[in-house]
Amino acid sequence: RPQRSDTASITDELSVAWYSLRVVRRSDQATTTVHRRFRDFVELASQLQASFQGHHLQSSLPQPPRKEFKYLKDHRDPAFLEERKHHLEIFMRRLVEVPHVLHVSSTLTFLGFSNHLREMSLIFTTEKIGVRLSKATDSDFPATVESVEGHQQGRHEIRPGDIVSKINGHSTAFMKFEEVVRSIQTIPRPFVCHFLQLIRPRKPVFLSDDATQLPDAHDADDGQDTTMTSSTMMKDRTASTMTQEAKGTFNEEAMKSVDLS
């Protein structure tokens, strides 16, 4: 159940806007924060249309906000971003009111949950990101968090063992460790870094799967929760095996662990 969609942030050299969604899973109260681009919302809507093809509920699926051409609208204008955020919030609230939507794997992936695994993402604005990375030995992704600096500890619960899964939305699964490090070191700030993290088990919380009252769209910025319910979670999925060769020259033995703090 996404609690709210935070204010959009312009984060990279292409002035791409990212929308932050804070999500709570009803079954165990696990939380996460994920960043999505406008096109991710559009892609989700398209995937759900395909999943509901021929189903009587297909016509109940809401349409995402209309895409505005950049030559007609300034996509960096704060007023434009705030308006788009507002419409995306309305879209998400209407979407999750449609029965079975939260049982579709594409929805759960979008919200950042997969059984005992969650995605979370952070926006970094400084040259040093406050973590030390090491090579992964048993994952389809090349880089994991080895340690976290004091000022980063507790920030959205980054912890050792987390996997660096995406950088600015681009998967690291087909990258070498050296490429991940180089990308983080050289990418213009601010940027979004996505992590995969095992969810620490908690005492089960048993709640009914009945629909819960949703607040009006304009209440989102007042801190009110937008409740979503789901009785099933998607199966764990990993990226395909890395096949792409790294470009450039790096000493692999010397790059087994890199301090980016």
pLDDT in tens, the chain (261 residues): 554 445 455 545 567 889 999 999 888 899 999 999 999 999 999 999 999 999 999 999 999 999 877 667 777 788 888 999 999 999 999 999 999 999 999 999 999 999 899 999 999 989 999 999 999 988 899 999 999 987 555 555 799 999 999 999 999 999 999 999 999 999 998 999 999 999 987 655 444 444 333 233 333 333 333 333 222 222 233 332 222 222 222 333 345 667 776
The predicted pLDDT at position 15 comes to 76
SS3 assignment for 204-251: CCCCCCCCCCCCCHHHHHHCCCCCCCCCCCCCCCCCCCCCCCCCCCCC
- The answer to whether the beta carbons of residues 36 and 19 sit under 8 Å apart is yes
Contact 145, 164 (CB under 8 A): yes
The Cα-based distances of 38 to 81, 95, 156, 246 in angstroms read 10, 15, 23, 30
Amino acid, res. 7: T
Looking at residue 216, its pLDDT comes to: 33
Domains in the chain (CATH in brackets) are 14-19+36-114 (3.30.1520.10), 115-201 (2.30.42.10)
Please tell me the predicted confidence (pLDDT) of residue 219.
Answer: 34
Cα separation, 106 vs 63, in Å, equals: 16
Asked if 126 and 189 touch (Cβ cutoff 8 Å), the reply is yes
**Closest by Cα among 128, 92, 109, 103 to 196:** 109
Measuring CA to CA, how many Å separate 256 from each of 22, 123, 246?
Answer: 33, 25, 15
Identity of residue 164: V
**pLDDT at residue number 50:** 98
pLDDT at 7: 47
Torsion angle in degrees (nearest 10) through CA of 208, 211, 213, 215: 120
Say if CB 134 and CB 181 are below 8 A apart. Answer: no
Q: What number of CA atoms fall less than 13 Å from residue 219's CA on the CB side? A: 10
Cα–Cα distance measured from residue 195 to residue 215, given in angstroms and rounded to the nearest whole number: 30
The pLDDT score that the predictor gives to residue 32 is 93
- Alpha-carbon gap, residue 102 to 230, rounded angstroms: 6
d(CA 194, CA 168): 8
List the beta bridge partners of residue 23: 2, 32
